[in-house]
Amino acid sequence: MSSLLFDLLENPDFQEGSLWQKNQYGANSTIFTEGDHGREIYLVLDGTLRMLGKVDIGEQRKIQPGFGELSKGDFFGELVLFDDMPRSATVVTLSDVELAVVDGDKLLAFLDAHPEIGYPILKELFTTLVVRLRKANQRIFSLFAWGLKSKGLNSYL
């Protein structure tokens, strides 16, 4: 849980309505789709969501497996704070959900104007990104090992 981001929602200078807003989504709703452009980040106030990624399995066949779940206290969509690339995953709701939707550009401007708040939040974001990167690396290595084993190439492990 990113407590500093959630604490920011309570800051009187970080006003709801102009810098962020609460949105409700029903179960089985799509928040955004892989490839979409957007500048918002999302904080989960209540409910459960799933992150999905497109996987090409050949012969023009694709699947979209879930690779993580999000729940109260989690955030997602934060990569838009660091680059201007399209969304890297699809996020769908598994239950009714309440999200704080934060305008990423306004958030960055606020953090620049308030470095005493901004530095700890960015540090927390980087820490979360490092944890997610390490988990992704672990999954990649496991899939790579599985692929080598399935081809009888155990000697490369």
Kindly report the pTM of this predicted structure: 0.81
**89-138 pLDDT per residue, tens:** 999 999 999 999 999 999 999 999 999 999 999 999 888 888 878 887 78
Confidence band for 151, pLDDT divided at 50, 70 and 90 = confident
**1-21 pLDDT per residue, tens:** 458 999 999 999 999 999 999
**34-51 pLDDT per residue, tens:** 999 999 999 999 999 999
CA distance 47 to 28: 12
Check if the beta carbon of residue 104 is closer than 8 Å to that of residue 110. no
Its CATH architecture, for the domain 3-151, is Sandwich (2.60)
Residues 6+ apart with CB under 8 A from 124: 2, 3, 4, 5
Going by the DSSP 8-state scheme, the letter that residue 30 receives in this structure is E
| Helix, strand, coil share of the chain (percent; to 5) | 40, 30, 30
